Structures are given as C-alpha cells and as structure tokens.
Amino acid sequence: MSNPGEADLTPITSARQLAEWFAAGSKPRTAWRIGTEHEKFGFRRSDLAPPPYEPAGIRAMLEGIAAKGWEPIPDNGKPIGLKRGMASVSLEPGGQFELSGAPMADLHETRAELAAHLREVHEVAGPLGLGFAPLGFHPLAERDDMPWMPKGRYAIMRNYMPRVGGMGLDMMLRTCTVQVNLDFGDEADMVEKLRVSLALQPLATALFANSPFMEGKPSGWLSLRGRVWTDTDPDRTGIPAVAFEDGFGFERFADFVLDVPMYFIMREGQYIDAAGVPFRAFLEGRAEKLAGHTATMGDFADHVTTVFTDVRLKRFLEMRGADAGNVGMLMAQPAFWTGLLYDDAAQKAAAALVRGWSVQELRALRMEVPKRALHASIGGRALRDIAREAVAISRDGLKARGLGEEVFLAPLEEIAASGMTQAERWLQRHERAWGGDVSRIFAEAEV
C-alpha cells in the first residue's frame, strides 16, 4: 500500500468527475513509464525474528535511510515512510519494507534504482543486525509474532478484516509482493490492457510462486500469498467481472469502485473510521459514520488505493499477482508486463492468447494456481505451455523496444522451460539440503 498523498479537497458533485479522474491518467506513448514496487521481510540476524517498529528496528531503518537524503513521512509524529522525488519507501502493516520506485523510462533505470535502494538498506541494516528477504509469505512467523506498524489506516483495517475474510490479517502481516505500474494511452487502450493483464494475472502468480512455507513447515501451497488473497475480502479483491462486460470503460470502473466498502477518510491529518460503508453511500449522504463530512476527490483517490483487484486501475494500471522474489525475479516482473503491454504487436498477441477465456474459467484458475502453479490448466491447455508462449511474446515486445531489456526475462524463461518454480526449488532445498530446517531460507533468500 502506498503512503497517503496530498489531499484534493475538491467536492464531488457528479459521478462523471470520478470517471474523469481515471481518464486523466491517459498519456501519449512517449510519456509511458515503468514504476516498480517491491516488498521484503526484515529479520534479526540473532534469532530471525521480525524486527519491531522500535527499538533497533523499522523506525531506525527509516531514520537511517532518511539521513541519505530522504524526507520522512510522519503519522502522529512517528515516521512511517520516506519520500525522495517521485520515489517513496513505505511500510506494510507487519513492517515489510517497500520501495515504491519512481516512474522510469526503461528497465535499466529500474535496475539501477533497485541497486541503489538495496545498497542504502544494507548500509543501515548492517549496524542494526538486520537483514531483508523478499519472499511471498513469511516462512517462520506465526501471525501473533508479527509486529504492527503505527500507521493509522492499519488500525482500522485490523479491526475490519476479520469481518470479511479468514486471511485478511495474514495478507496484511505475512505477505510480500512485487508490482509494476504501467501507463495507458486512452480509454480503449486501458480496457485492452486491463483485460489482458487480468486474464494473465493467475499465470503471473504461477510463474512467481515463492511462498511454500508456513510457520516452519511446507504449507501445501506453492504461492501461499496467492492463497491468502482468495480469502481476504471478496468485495475488493480478485477478477472483477465488470472489466469484461460490453461497454466497459472509465465510467463503469468508477461505478464499480463506488460500491466497494470504504476503510477511512482523512481530515486534518487524522483517520476517521468508515469501515464497511460503500463509497456510494458516503457520496449520497447516507453514511451515518461520516455525518457532517462531504465526499471529496481526495477521499475517492484514497479509496481507490484500498481496492485490491488483481490488477488495480488508478491513473495507471498496477499488476498485483506476483510473490516477491530475488533480485532477478524483482526485475523479471516489470520486464514481463512491459514486454506484453508496451508494444502494440505484443499486446495484440497477448490479447489473442487469452481470447475466449471466460471470467468463470479465470476465477477457477486463480483458485488453482496457488497450489499447483504451472501444473494448473485453463481451456484445455497446460499453464506451463501458456507460460512459454506468454514469455516469448513478452520477449518479442521488449526486443521491439530496442533497449536490450529482454535480458531481464531470463529467470522466467528458465522457469517456463523447466516448469519448476522457485517455490518448488525451495521445497527441494528443504528436503535435501536443509534437513527440514526452513529457517535456512533466510540466508539464501536475503537481498
């Protein structure tokens, strides 16, 4: 989740304003950028426990990195994030450390940004006795072992999540992902990109499966993070059918978002609990919890950040289906989607690849891949075969950009060729090299 932005106090006077808010993200191709976000678990080297906010934990990490030229983002006087230019460092509820990267012109710039971030993390974490490992689900900690970060919105979500799903708190505390934000040219381009990326998001979950352990044992899932998202909150997650309906566009998506229950609004820097209230009720003055408050565009923008569909439409498209992984996989994720969606021929080939898949089939695949990864199937085709074809399309798209970015697809090409995910490799290590000791994953997964 991102840190809250500057509030737009413009009152909402029509639903059309909301559609126009999304439409304002349309950009000419020359302005398309690549924004990559990735999370990682902190651990104390002494005992592998997740570090607390303080002392000698996450707050110290933020303060140490702030000294390198970042501006702190406070919440009730405590630093909960950092800002430098268009990039930010933010905290997930359990202290997962996230870089929300600046929009970059190409993947080589993204790689340089990642290297600089990890260098700063190492410099600060070393004296604190901390390390960081990007894995899809925490391999050791029980839910109650995880700390809670002092971020106002998280207290509201913590109370609400158990009312709507069985694993929402696990999502908040014990998962890490890698995401990429990509631009669209206009409404028609957004629609095609959204449909293609929603259809292929279960494939991404399979390719990036990197979370086979839970509380020190194999969990029976290859992407336990993917499993968690199937039981978090059905009102705001998954594959929205509306995206595949005739006539879908900015207005229809805005209408969908209006019916998603809210978490909060912010007034004068304070969070006001609005959990469970559909934004539509707030807009129409029917929300008793928010009596006396008028819905603003800033409220809507904040609300959009709490819609957790597998691909989220904001003023760009955010790909949300992948487990966090090693540096190669952190780069492979933006490379995969950039190749598919930033070249016209590749985008059309990707659209042809998924043509004919129904929403029901996609939802069934989404339920299957957390356990079976590339061994799942859709439309009578093995997902491993689809993976090879999708990665090849992405490679062609990157080659057409002429920047040498296709090198970043190498890890996915190997996975698609072998059919073996990182999660399955970890399970092999667990059985053959670690003697059943899952804790050894931290030394091998650390970045």
Kindly report, residue by residue over 247-271, the tens digit of the pLDDT. Answer: 999 999 999 999 999 999 999 989 9
Helices and strands in the chain, H and E counts: 17, 17
| Number of structural domains found in the chain | 1
- Maximum distance among all Cα pairs of the chain, rounded to whole angstroms: 63
pLDDT score at 5 = 42
- The sign of the dihedral angle between the CA atoms of 167, 169, 175, 177 is positive
CB atoms within 10 A of CB 24: 10
Is residue 8 domain-resident?
Answer: no
Q: Please state, in angstroms and as integers, the Cα–Cα distance from residue 234 to each residue in 168, 308, 425, 443, 445, following that order.
A: 10, 10, 32, 36, 32
Q: Tell me the whole-structure pTM to 2 decimals.
A: 0.97
Any idea how long the chain is? Answer: 447
Is residue 9 domain-resident?
Answer: no
d(CA 27, CA 160): 37
Pairing of strands 213-214, 217-218: antiparallel
247 Rama sector, left if φ>0, alpha if ψ -120 to 50, beta otherwise:
left
Residue 145's identity, in one-letter code, is: D
210 within 8 A of 38, measured Cβ to Cβ? no
Instruction: Name the DSSP class of 328.
Output: H
d(CA 133, CA 49): 12
Kindly report, residue by residue over 390-423, the tens digit of the pLDDT. Answer: 999 999 999 999 999 999 999 999 999 999 999 9
**CATH number for 127:** 3.30.590.20
Nearest CA to 336 among 196, 159, 225? 196
Is residue 2 domain-resident?
Answer: no
Is residue 111 domain-resident?
Answer: yes
Kindly report, residue by residue over 97-126, the tens digit of the pLDDT. Answer: 999 999 999 999 999 999 999 999 999 999
How high does pLDDT run on average in the chain?
97
Tokens representing 290 are 């928010």
Is residue 5 domain-resident?
Answer: no
pLDDT score at 67 = 98
Q: For residue 262, give its domain range.
A: 15-445
Tell me the H-state helices in 68-186: 107-128, 152-160, 168-174
Residue 434's identity, in one-letter code, is: W
pLDDT score at 3 = 44
Kindly report, residue by residue over 25-75, the tens digit of the pLDDT. Answer: 999 999 999 999 999 999 999 999 999 999 999 999 999 999 999 999 999
Is residue 183 domain-resident?
Answer: yes
Residue 385's identity, in one-letter code, is: D
158 within 8 A of 216, measured Cβ to Cβ? no
Is residue 258 domain-resident?
Answer: yes
d(CA 7, CA 149): 22
| % of the chain beyond a pLDDT of 90 | 98
Location of structure tokens 């260098």: 119
d(CA 274, CA 70): 32
3-state DSSP assignment of residue 259? coil
pLDDT score at 4 = 45
